[in-house]
Amino acid sequence: METNLAVLIDGDNIPSAYIKEMMEEIAKYGSPTIKRIYGDWTKPHLVKWKNVLLENAINPIQQYGYTQGKNATDSAMIIDAMDILYSDKVDGFCLVSSDSDFTRLATRLREAGKNVIGIGEKKTPEPFIVACDRFIYIEILKNSDKDSDQSSEKGGKSSKKKNVDKITPKVVRLISQTISDVADEDGWAFLGDVGSLLQKKQPNFDSRNYGFQKLTPMIHSIDKFEIESRTNQNSKFKLIYVRNKD
């Protein structure tokens, strides 16, 4: 059964240049049956959004700023989210914003048993990130295709070295501890379980943040881990297991 998602976009807080990649990313997690964007469409800074709304079937919600210094857009988005929640028409929400004002909303939606995906820029405050089940930086969506092209042109060598340098000892410790948490008596852990637990521990953990499209090549690039492929009797695809070397 397909997961139905409500996609709510803070138009004041997200650049329109990311819309194509953002909608493609959202489609990986479910069907965006409700798509709304909030903002004061009389303001000139939202003009660029108007050009892409029809192409992506996103419904613009007009919200005037009634009081100076108050964000009416946030209030409208929060009220709509709660109305959608009580209608019980969706299985999850995708909140697109870099604003920490939606932290309580994300927490409330999760308390109601809904899956919450956050999408925003890298400047997004930590409280909003950890309030989501998963948080995706829009910068990596925009750069992923570009990085792949550059890697192909250069044979992948310089790009790979650059990506490995971004992986800090703190990240390595996080992966190592997570492997230990789900490992069997021999120290081997199914990579799918490792990835799921990493996401729970750190909602913004994404191998693409470090330049890798998947977790497997990222793990493979770190010399502190072993990787083993095992035959899967129920599928043509092999199962990937990892363990700490030490």
Dist CA 150 CA 244 (whole Å): 31
Select from 3.40.630.30, 3.30.200.20, 2.30.30.100, 3.30.420.610 the CATH code of 154-244. 3.30.420.610
> Is the pLDDT confidence value at 49 over 50?
yes
Dist CA 160 CA 211 (whole Å): 8
> Is the pLDDT confidence value at 151 over 80?
no
Place of tokens 């729970």: 200
Dist CA 137 CA 129 (whole Å): 10
Question: What pLDDT was estimated at residue 17?
Answer: 87
Share of the chain above pLDDT 70, in %: 87
Give the pLDDT band (50/70/90) at residue 69: very low
> Is the pLDDT confidence value at 162 over 70?
no
CATH 3.40.50.1010 range(s) for the chain read 4-141
Contact, 72 vs 64, CB < 8 A?
A: yes
> Is the pLDDT confidence value at 118 over 50?
yes
Give the pLDDT band (50/70/90) at residue 15: confident
| Dihedral angle sign, alpha carbons of residues 62, 67, 68, 72 | negative
CATH 3.30.420.610 range(s) for the chain read 154-244
Average pLDDT over the chain reads 86
Dist CA 171 CA 204 (whole Å): 12
Would you identify the CATH topology of the domain 4-141?
A: Rossmann fold (3.40.50)
- Mean pLDDT for the stretch of residues 36-41: 89
Give the pLDDT band (50/70/90) at residue 76: confident
pTM across the whole model: 0.83
